[in-house]
């Protein structure tokens, strides 16, 4: 068949039904394709797709190292260089986290009693006796931390009141400075190398000590007291700090552990929580389990890794009798659905997000973990945590069990020259 030269010839060919019938017959005819042909067509198709994706997708590469080409030795290492040397570095090891969970914000008005409801930003149900319990929580936490030189006292509570810029934790810290002259301090031997100034003194001078009201009398003295060379109290000499982002009891525990890591560069070996007695079951059965905290593994000195000190309201008009949030947390261990989520949103009046995904990056996955709704224990965080036995020792649970059964020794297999095997 010759090719058409004129438009009329081309038009005639296109309109010829015989030509189209012949073409359809050729396309519909049976054909045999070999395996090699199939492979070659497949390779050509894949290669074509790769080329198309390469030319149509714009990939923006962000440099992960300085322009000098020297890679950072540690992730977030540059951030941590902003921290000063810990006062007890190399001399006092902090291993015990003491948490005082916040519940309200103290206004700090010296003209009013510490236990006066008008000196606090309170919810309606907290009026009529709760502030006396808050003060007891603070005093109890101070006493525990002051008697244990390996402890760090953390007041935990976010900026939950739209009437105040202070967080619950910051207001508790301020009140602690006035409530007790025996605050937890770094030993002088630990301060010698990093802080030559005199040790921190309570915020009351000698003349005011006799007149300084205790928490029972309920009146706070003004912030006068001893000062350092630069004119202010040296708070760095205290083993006390704040955690300013927690919005509920679960975050009180998790964020305080993260704050301990942020402050000390390590994770605690044991935790003591001071709070309401009726919340103890929630902390033990739900919060500690959600964090997979080793509740039943004692520390090296034989003490418990998790302790709870509960103090309920004694003189409230309408005492709180039960834990209304227990069932909610039982179905939603991480508090990221429905009512618990809405409660966090309602309390987060300052629209703040915690920094711990960076400053305690080993548990960043745990901080953001949110399993399916109503998953309960089936939604437990499944990945490694810094306090897991495998992480701490490099051994699995089976090896640890064998070691415990054999007096702390690992069984080893030895092959004798004659081929016999013995266990040592």
The per-residue pLDDT for 392 is 54
Cα(85)–Cα(186) distance, integer angstroms: 13
Cα(179)–Cα(171) distance, integer angstroms: 12
Q: pLDDT tens across 14-30, in order? A: 667 676 777 777 767 77
Q: pLDDT tens across 343-401, in order? A: 999 999 999 999 999 899 899 999 999 999 999 899 999 999 999 876 555 444 444 45
pTM: 0.70
SS3 per-residue string spanning 308-352: EEECCCCCCCCCCCCCCCHHHHHHCCCCCCHHHHHHHHHHCCCCC
Of the chain, the percentage scoring pLDDT greater than 70 comes to: 67
Q: Which residues pair with 83 in a beta bridge?
A: none
Helices 7-15 and 17-28, axial angle in degrees (round to 10): 60
Q: pLDDT tens across 49-99, in order? A: 887 765 444 444 444 444 455 555 555 566 777 888 888 777 788 999 999
For residue 359, the surrounding DSSP H or E stretch is: helix 356-359
Cα(35)–Cα(45) distance, integer angstroms: 15
The per-residue pLDDT for 73 is 55
Lowest mean pLDDT among 22-31, 152-161, 249-258, 306-315: 22-31
Q: What are phi and psi of 271, to 5 degrees?
A: -130, 135
The per-residue pLDDT for 341 is 96
The b-or-e profile of 337-350 (16+ CB within 10 A means b, else e) is beebeeebeebeee
The per-residue pLDDT for 69 is 53
Q: What ranges in 157-287 are assigned the alpha helix state H? A: 168-179, 188-191, 206-209, 249-264, 280-282
Token look-up 């002259």 returns 181
The per-residue pLDDT for 218 is 47
Q: How many CB atoms lie within 10 A of CB 116?
A: 15
What average pLDDT does the structure give for the chain? 78
Q: How many CB atoms lie within 10 A of CB 41?
A: 11
Cα(246)–Cα(348) distance, integer angstroms: 9
Of the chain, the percentage scoring pLDDT greater than 90 comes to: 45
Bigger pLDDT: 99 or 165?
Answer: 99
The per-residue pLDDT for 416 is 57
pLDDT band at residue 164 under the 50/70/90 scheme: confident
The per-residue pLDDT for 56 is 47
pLDDT band at residue 117 under the 50/70/90 scheme: very high
Q: What number is the average pLDDT over the span 403-421?
A: 52
Lowest mean pLDDT among 14-28, 207-221, 312-326, 364-378: 207-221
The per-residue pLDDT for 58 is 47
**DSSP code for 279:** G
Contacts of 154 (CB under 8 A, 6+ apart): 97, 98, 99, 100, 169, 240, 241, 242, 243, 256, 259, 260
Q: How far apart are the first and last CA of the chain?
A: 93
Q: pLDDT tens across 226-268, in order? A: 445 555 567 888 999 999 999 999 999 999 999 999 999 999 9
Burial level of 157, CB count in 10 A (0-12/13-18/19+)?
buried
């Amino acid at each position: 068949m010759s090719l058409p030269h004129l438009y009329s010839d081309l038009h005639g060919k296109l309109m010829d039904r015989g030509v189209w019938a012949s073409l359809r017959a050729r396309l519909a005819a049976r054909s045999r394709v070999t395996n090699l042909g199939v492979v070659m067509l497949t390779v050509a198709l894949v290669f074509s797709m790769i080329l198309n994706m390469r030319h149509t997708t714009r990939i923006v590469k962000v440099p992960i190292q300085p322009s000098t080409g020297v890679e950072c030795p540690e992730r977030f290492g540059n951030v941590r260089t902003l921290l000063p040397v810990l006062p007890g570095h190399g001399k006092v090891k902090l291993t015990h986290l003491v948490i005082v969970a916040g519940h309200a914000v103290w206004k700090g008005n010296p003209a009013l009693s510490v236990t006066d409801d008008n000196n606090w930003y309170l919810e309606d149900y907290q009026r009529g006796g709760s502030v006396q319990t808050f003060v007891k929580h603070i005093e109890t936490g101070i006493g525990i931390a002051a008697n244990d030189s390996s402890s760090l006292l953390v007041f935990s509570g976010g900026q939950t009141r739209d009437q105040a810029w202070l967080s619950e934790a910051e207001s508790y810290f301020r009140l602690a400075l006035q409530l007790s002259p025996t605050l937890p301090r770094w030993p002088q031997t630990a301060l010698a190398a990093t802080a030559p100034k005199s040790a921190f003194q309570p915020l009351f001078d000698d003349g005011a000590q006799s007149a300084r009201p205790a928490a029972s009398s309920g009146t706070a003295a003004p912030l006068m007291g001893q000062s350092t060379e630069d004119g202010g109290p040296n708070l760095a000499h205290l083993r006390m700090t704040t955690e300013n982002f927690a919005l509920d009891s679960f975050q009180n525990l998790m964020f305080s552990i993260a704050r301990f890591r942020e402050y000390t560069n390590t994770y605690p070996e044991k935790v003591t929580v001071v709070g309401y007695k009726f919340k103890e079951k929630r902390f033990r059965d739900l919060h500690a389990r959600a964090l997979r905290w080793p509740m039943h593994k004692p520390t090296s000195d034989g003490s418990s890794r998790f302790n709870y000190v509960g103090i309920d309201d004694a003189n409230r008009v309408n005492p709180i009798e039960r834990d209304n949030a227990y069932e909610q947390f039982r179905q939603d261990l991480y508090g990221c659905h429905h009512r618990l989520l809405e409660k966090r949103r309602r309390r987060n009046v300052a629209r703040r997000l915690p920094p711990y995904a960076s400053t305690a990056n080993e548990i960043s996955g745990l901080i953001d973990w949110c399993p399916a709704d109503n998953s309960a224990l089936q939604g437990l965080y499944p990945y490694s945590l810094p306090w897991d036995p495998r992480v701490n020792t490099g051994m699995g649970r089976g090896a640890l069990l064998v070691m415990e059964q054999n007096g702390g020794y690992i069984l080893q297999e030895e092959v004798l020259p004659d081929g016999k095997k013995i266990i040592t």
